[in-house]
Structure formats: structure tokens, C-alpha cells
């Protein structure tokens, strides 16, 4: 759905031309995009229900260019939207008509690999999977593996604190990033963290990871790389009910077993994935668990025996254990392709992201089914069962009047349900614009004010990625945060105390 915008007047067109000329002086040639047709490539991200072209796009190649672009925009009061690969599912890189998009696609090099220290230094435009491929010959890999890992950039992963099917054991992006270089809106370049596990000072690195482009633009990332486990094996377990599968998840964790990954799919997801990939999934079950363990071979064999016993005690109707690497990868093939597989079921779908306590899973799925009937829209469930991160896929047809609105209302009710049962609004996709107006469901005004106070410390004029995360964006002075730029206080019309 394209967002209708009024035709710009002569003054607006002149201002736009001035901005483009200034940007082109910093990032010349094809590095600055202003042609209306070319801008269409940047008019949305993976949250594709809405489209809107930005004012202009710059594709810097050096840290110096990023710094100069941000400093100029800061001085001129021009808003900026950072962008990675555009795979955000919460509208995190959705453009604004009066903002410049800074696209980091040309920052695509792996700068250094240190196997002794088990780290790699990469630019933010490097694809997630490219890190693992760069180090696999030496037996290493990068653990966070979102489903979009072939396309999503490591800079975007840092912005959204991305996870993946193996985050249960190995953690999210924040657990696998050692340091970043970040350019502030003022053009200042900071280094946070580094090559050591415990850098001195405040944990500002932890603040930046997951900050959704609100605090600065990351230009370099130092990540952990891990030795690939000696053995990895998986179990494919079918259940006659979602409740039985959910209980198995709880019992496995309660038994002290932390699998490398533990994913669940419901019946519609199973059938869609099997039709798409032909992974050999059982079609006579209501829920399917994929449980992977890794480590020494003898340990994997023991853990799989324990998991199989727990599954049988909960009434598992089918159980297969991988006997080769090819079979293990086949088990995962359907789950990894679940999103494109579901796209065959309806013209459109809305991918949600919320997290709940594992023990509440059966209740939440039951209530989601009730919501599905109430809204008259189908829902397909795939999720990271081990850590309670749900990804309901709401099926709709944007060409049918009212269905997009109904899908969005359905998704909002799912997220309210997640918070109601003790969970949170997001697990790995971020807040962006999708969940922005639901933030008060989870946070009080005081909570939100203090969160915005952090933004004010980094971006006092609120120019970076505005319109995201915060349902109401207060001026920093209103929150009691004063920041001096070139000897001038912002918003001189406000009274001072």
C-alpha cells in the first residue's frame, strides 16, 4: 500500500535539490540516489504492507563519508534513516518522505579474522551467512542464524538484536558481539567494546545492540566465531497435540538439557513446509518438534536418548533421529523455508514476533486459534519453542477491502496476549513501526521516558530513525535532558529552569 503524499511545492522542491546537491558533494556519482524510479528500491523493507519513497538515498563507502553525511544532516536538521539489507520485519528501516536513507550496502568487507582470539572484524553490510562461510575451512562459524541469514546484514542484526534457531544455546546477537564502531549524528566516531570479553566502563555496547538505528550508524562489528561442534544430530518428533509438544519442550529444559536448537511447527506449517521442500515431515500430526544437540558424539547420543524418552512419555506419535549430516540438514530444510512455504497459502501474510514463558505455550496457541476464528483469518505457527519466541504468520489478501486492517488488529491482539501471559512484545524482530503503538501495553510512561532519555544522550535533536519504537517522541528538553551544540541549547522557545 503506497502512502499518499501531497504534491511538493516549489520551496520543498528547492530544498530537496539543495539537500541532494550537498549529499552528492560528500558521496559523489551513483553514491547519492535521487531519481524517483531508483528510489523505489528503497521505499519499503520486509514489512511490505506499506511503501513510501525517501527524500534521497546515500550509499557511503568510507567511515569518513558516513561521518560527514551525518554531521551535515545534523547541522541542517535533516532526518536520517539507517538501512542494512532491508530485511527488517518490523519496519525498522522503513523510509520517511522527508528523510535521507543512509544505506550501508557498500560496507561489505570482512576486515580481519583472528582464529586464536576466536573473532572476526566485519563491516555492517556483510551478510550473516557470509561470516560462517569465510571461516568454515578452519572449522569455525558464527552462531546467530536468523532464517534470513543468506540475505540479512550483520549491521541489521546488531540493530535488531537478531536471533535464530540456535539462539537457545548460543545466544542472540548481543551475546556474540564483542565491539562496534559507531558514528553518532554529530559525525563523531566512537568505538565501544573491542577484542576483550570485559571492556572497561559502562556497557554502552549493550545499549547499542538492539537500539534499532536510534542512536547512531554502525560502521564496523567485531563478532565471536566458535569452533564447529564435533557432532550435531537432530530429532524430528511428531505429536498428536500442540499441548503434548509444548509439555515436551518444558520437560526437556526442566531436565537440564539445553539443546542447540528446539523449534516447533503446527499442522498448517508442517503441511506447507513439506509441500514446499519435501523434507519427509509426518503429515498426520498436530505439532512437530525439531530438537538438535551438538558436542562430542557420545554426549549427543546420550542427550538424544534422554529427549526421545521425554517425548515418548508425552505421547509422541512419531520420532526420527538423524543418522547423517545430510539427514540433519533435511530436518531443518522445511523449518528454514517455512516463511516462503507459507506464502503459497495466501496472497499475503503478516509475520508477527513475540515471546512468552514456555509453560504458557498451549494456552497461547489455543487463544490464537480463537482469535483466528474471530477475525476470519488463518494463522500458521512456527516458533523458537526453546525460548518461547513465537512467529505467528497471519494469512490475508491485501486486495480484499478490510483484510489488511483485520490482519494488523489480529497481530496486535496476539502481542497483547504475549504481554498478558508474562511475555514481551518482541523476541528478535524489534519494535520498529509495527509495535510502536503497543509499547504502552508493556511499559509505563516513566519507563518510556527513561528509554527515550538514552536516545537523547546520543541524538539530542531526535534526527535518527524518527517515528520508530516510541509511540510519542518528546523533545529532549521536556524530559529534562539538555545537550549543547556549538554553544546553543536546542529548542530556545522552551522555558529554562
**Phi-psi map region of 188: left, alpha, beta (phi>0 left; psi -120 to 50 alpha):** beta
**Are 56 and 34 contacting, i.e. CB atoms less than 8 angstroms apart?**
yes
Q: What is the pLDDT of residues 161-173, one digit of tens each?
A: 999 889 999 999 9
Residue 49 confidence (pLDDT)? 81
Across residues 159-187, what is the average pLDDT? Answer: 95
With respect to residue 220, please indicate whether it lies within any of the assigned structural domains. yes
**Are 185 and 67 contacting, i.e. CB atoms less than 8 angstroms apart?**
no
Residue 5 confidence (pLDDT)? 62
Residues 239 and 305 occupy one common structural domain: yes
With respect to residue 272, please indicate whether it lies within any of the assigned structural domains. yes
- Which cell numbers in the block locate residue 193? 567494546
Residue 265 confidence (pLDDT)? 95
Q: What is the pLDDT of residues 18-36, one digit of tens each?
A: 999 999 999 999 999 999 9
How far is Cα 115 from Cα 226, in angstroms, rounded to an integer? 9
How far is Cα 98 from Cα 12, in angstroms, rounded to an integer? 10
Average pLDDT, the chain: 92
Residue 481 confidence (pLDDT)? 53
On the question of pLDDT at 487 being above 90, the answer is: no
Of the candidates 227, 262, 296, which is a domain's last residue? Answer: 227
On the question of pLDDT at 194 being above 90, the answer is: no
Please provide residue 363's backbone torsions phi and psi, each rounded to the nearest 5 degrees: -60, -45
Cβ-based neighbours of 434, under 8 Å, separated by 6 or more = 47, 89, 90, 91, 411
Strand partners, 393: 351, 380
With respect to residue 3, please indicate whether it lies within any of the assigned structural domains. no
Of the candidates 103, 128, 152, which is a domain's last residue? Answer: 103
Please provide residue 439's backbone torsions phi and psi, each rounded to the nearest 5 degrees: -55, -40
Helix (H) or strand (E) holding 295: strand 287-295
Residues 407 and 482 occupy one common structural domain: no
For residue 58, the enclosing domain spans: 10-103
How many beta carbons lie within 10 A of that of residue 175, not counting itself?
14
Cβ-based neighbours of 240, under 8 Å, separated by 6 or more = 285, 286, 315, 317
Q: In degrees, to the nearest 5, what angle opens at C-alpha 424 toward C-alphas 421 and 425?
A: 120
Characterize the bridge pairing of strands 189-193 and 110-114. unpaired
Please provide residue 332's backbone torsions phi and psi, each rounded to the nearest 5 degrees: -80, -20
**Are 2 and 52 contacting, i.e. CB atoms less than 8 angstroms apart?**
yes
CA-to-CA separations, 250 to 358, 360, 388, in angstroms, rounded: 6, 10, 10
Please, what is the angle between helix 63-76 and helix 10-26, to 10°? 150
Residues 255 and 165 occupy one common structural domain: no
Strand partners, 320: 236
How far is Cα 436 from Cα 327, in angstroms, rounded to an integer? 41
**Are 310 and 255 contacting, i.e. CB atoms less than 8 angstroms apart?**
yes
Of the candidates 406, 427, 448, which is a domain's last residue? Answer: 427
Domain containing residue 365: CATH number: 3.30.70.2740
On the question of pLDDT at 482 being above 50, the answer is: no
On the question of pLDDT at 448 being above 60, the answer is: yes
With respect to residue 330, please indicate whether it lies within any of the assigned structural domains. yes
On the question of pLDDT at 450 being above 50, the answer is: yes
267, burial (CB in 10 Å: exposed 0-12, middle 13-18, buried 19+) = middle
Residues 21 and 80 occupy one common structural domain: yes
Across residues 123-128, what is the average pLDDT? Answer: 98
How far is Cα 477 from Cα 496, in angstroms, rounded to an integer? 9
Residues 456 and 373 occupy one common structural domain: no
Q: What is the pLDDT of residues 337-352, one digit of tens each?
A: 998 999 999 999 999 9
**Are 431 and 161 contacting, i.e. CB atoms less than 8 angstroms apart?**
no
Domain containing residue 135: CATH number: 3.30.465.10
Residues 244 and 333 occupy one common structural domain: yes
- Which cell numbers in the block locate residue 138? 578452519
Residues 124 and 200 occupy one common structural domain: yes
How far is Cα 132 from Cα 225, in angstroms, rounded to an integer? 8
Q: In degrees, to the nearest 5, what angle opens at C-alpha 179 toward C-alphas 177 and 181?
A: 125
Domain containing residue 286: CATH number: 3.30.70.2190
Residues 333 and 363 occupy one common structural domain: no
Residue 206 confidence (pLDDT)? 94
How far is Cα 16 from Cα 31, in angstroms, rounded to an integer? 17
On the question of pLDDT at 305 being above 50, the answer is: yes
Residues 256 and 270 occupy one common structural domain: yes
Domain containing residue 60: CATH number: 3.30.43.10
Across residues 232-259, what is the average pLDDT? Answer: 94
With respect to residue 4, please indicate whether it lies within any of the assigned structural domains. no
Please provide residue 158's backbone torsions phi and psi, each rounded to the nearest 5 degrees: -65, -45
**Are 287 and 242 contacting, i.e. CB atoms less than 8 angstroms apart?**
yes
Give the DSSP letter string of 87-100. Answer: --SSSTT---TTEE
Pairwise pLDDT comparison (133 vs 10), residue with the higher score: 133
Q: What is the pLDDT of residues 200-225, one digit of tens each?
A: 778 999 999 999 999 999 999 999 99
Residue with cell 503503538: 437
- Which cell numbers in the block locate residue 439? 509499547
Strand partners, 101: 57, 81
On the question of pLDDT at 488 being above 50, the answer is: no
With respect to residue 5, please indicate whether it lies within any of the assigned structural domains. no
Residue with cell 477475525: 375
Cβ-based neighbours of 142, under 8 Å, separated by 6 or more = 120, 128, 131, 132, 135, 176, 223, 224, 225, 226
Q: What is the pLDDT of residues 371-420, one digit of tens each?
A: 999 999 999 999 898 889 999 999 999 999 999 999 999 999 999 999 99
How far is Cα 232 from Cα 299, in angstroms, rounded to an integer? 10
With respect to residue 1, please indicate whether it lies within any of the assigned structural domains. no
Across residues 455-464, what is the average pLDDT? Answer: 96
Give the whole-number percent of the chain exceeding pLDDT 90.
82
With respect to residue 172, please indicate whether it lies within any of the assigned structural domains. yes
Residues 41 and 95 occupy one common structural domain: yes
Domain count, the chain: 5
Residue with cell 563491516: 123
Residues 390 and 451 occupy one common structural domain: no
Residues 223 and 114 occupy one common structural domain: yes
pTM: 0.91
Q: What is the pLDDT of residues 29-86, one digit of tens each?
A: 999 999 999 999 999 988 778 889 999 999 999 999 999 999 999 999 999 999 999 9
Give the whole-number percent of the chain exceeding pLDDT 70.
95
How far is Cα 409 from Cα 225, in angstroms, rounded to an integer? 41
Amino acid at each position: 500500500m503506497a502512502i499518499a503524499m501531497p504534491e511538493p511545492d516549489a520551496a520543498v522542491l528547492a530544498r530537496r535539490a539543495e539537500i541532494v546537491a550537498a549529499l552528492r558533494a560528500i558521496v559523489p556519482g551513483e553514491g547519492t540516489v535521487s531519481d524517483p524510479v531508483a528510489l523505489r528500491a528503497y521505499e519499503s523493507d520486509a514489512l511490505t504492507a506499506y511503501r513510501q519513497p525517501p527524500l534521497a538515498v546515500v550509499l557511503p563507502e568510507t567511515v569518513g563519508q558516513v561521518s560527514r553525511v551525518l554531521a551535515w544532516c545534523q547541522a541542517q536538521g535533516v532526518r536520517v534513516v539507517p538501512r542494512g539489507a532491508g530485511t527488517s520485519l518490523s519496519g525498522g528501516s522503513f523510509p520517511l518522505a522527508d528523510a535521507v536513507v543512509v544505506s550501508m550496502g557498500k560496507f561489505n568487507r570482512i576486515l580481519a579474522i583472528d582464529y586464536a582470539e576466536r573473532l572476526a572484524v566485519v563491516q555492517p553490510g556483510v551478510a550473516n551467512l557470509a561470516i560462517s562461510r569465510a571461516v568454515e575451512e578452519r572449522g569455525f562459524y558464527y552462531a546467530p542464524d536468523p532464517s534470513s541469514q543468506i540475505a540479512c546484514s550483520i549491521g541489521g542484526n546488531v540493530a535488531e538484536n537478531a536471533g535464530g534457531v540456535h539462539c537457545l544455546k548460543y545466544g542472540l546477537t548481543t551475546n556474540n558481539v564483542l565491539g562496534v564502531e559507531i558514528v553518532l549524528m554529530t559525525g563523531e566516531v566512537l568505538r565501544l567494546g573491542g577484542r576483550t570479553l570485559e571492556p572497561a566502563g559502562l556497557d554502552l555496547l549493550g545499549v547499542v545492540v538492539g537500539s534499532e538505528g536510534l542512536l547512531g550508524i554502525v560502521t564496523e562489528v567485531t563478532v565471536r566465531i566458535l569452533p564447529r561442534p564435533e557432532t550435531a544430530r537432530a530429532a524430528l518428533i511428531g505429536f498428536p497435540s500442540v499441548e503434548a509438544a509444548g509439555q515436551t519442550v518444558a520437560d526437556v529444559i526442566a531436565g537440564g538439557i539445553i539443546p542447540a536448537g528446539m523449534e516447533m511447527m503446527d499442522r498448517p506449517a508442517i503441511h506447507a513446509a513439506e509441500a514446499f521442500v519435501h523434507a519427509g515431515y509426518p503429515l498426520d500430526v498436530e505439532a512437530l518438534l525439531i530438537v538438535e544437540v551438538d558436542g562430542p558424539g557420545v554426549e549427543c547420543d546420550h542427550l538424544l536418548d534422554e529427549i526421545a524418552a521425554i517425548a515418548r512419555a508425552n505421547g509422541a506419535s512419531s520420532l526420527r533421529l538423524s543418522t547423517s549430516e545430510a539427514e540433519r540438514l533435511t530436518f531443518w530444510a522445511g523449518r528454514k523455508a517455512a516463511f516462503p512455504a507459507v506464502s503459497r497459502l495466501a496472497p499475503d501474510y503478516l509475520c508477527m514476533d513475540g515471546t512468552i514463558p514456555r509453560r504458557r505455550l498451549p494456552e497461547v496457541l489455543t487463544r490464537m486459534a480463537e482469535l483466528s476464528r474471530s477475525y476470519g483469518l488463518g494463522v500458521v505457527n512456527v516458533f523458537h519453542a526453546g525460548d518461547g519466541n513465537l512467529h505467528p504468520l497471519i494469512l490475508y489478501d491485501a486486495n480484499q477491502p478490510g483484510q489488511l486492517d483485520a490482519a494488523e488488529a489480529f497481530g496486535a491482539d496476539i502481542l497483547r496476549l504475549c504481554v498478558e501471559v508474562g511475555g514481551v512484545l518482541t523476541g528478535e524482530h524489534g519494535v520498529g513501526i509495527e509495535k510502536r503503538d503497543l509499547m504502552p501495553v508493556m511499559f509505563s510512561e516513566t519507563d518510556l521516558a527513561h528509554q527515550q532519555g538514552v536516545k537523547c544522550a546520543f541524538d539530542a535533536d531526535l534526527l535518527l530513525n524518527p517515528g520508530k519504537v516510541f509511540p510519542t517522541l518528546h523533545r529532549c528538553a521536556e524530559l529534562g535532558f539538555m545537550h549543547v551544540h556549538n554553544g546553543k541549547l536546542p529548542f530556545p522557545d522552551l522555558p529554562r529552569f
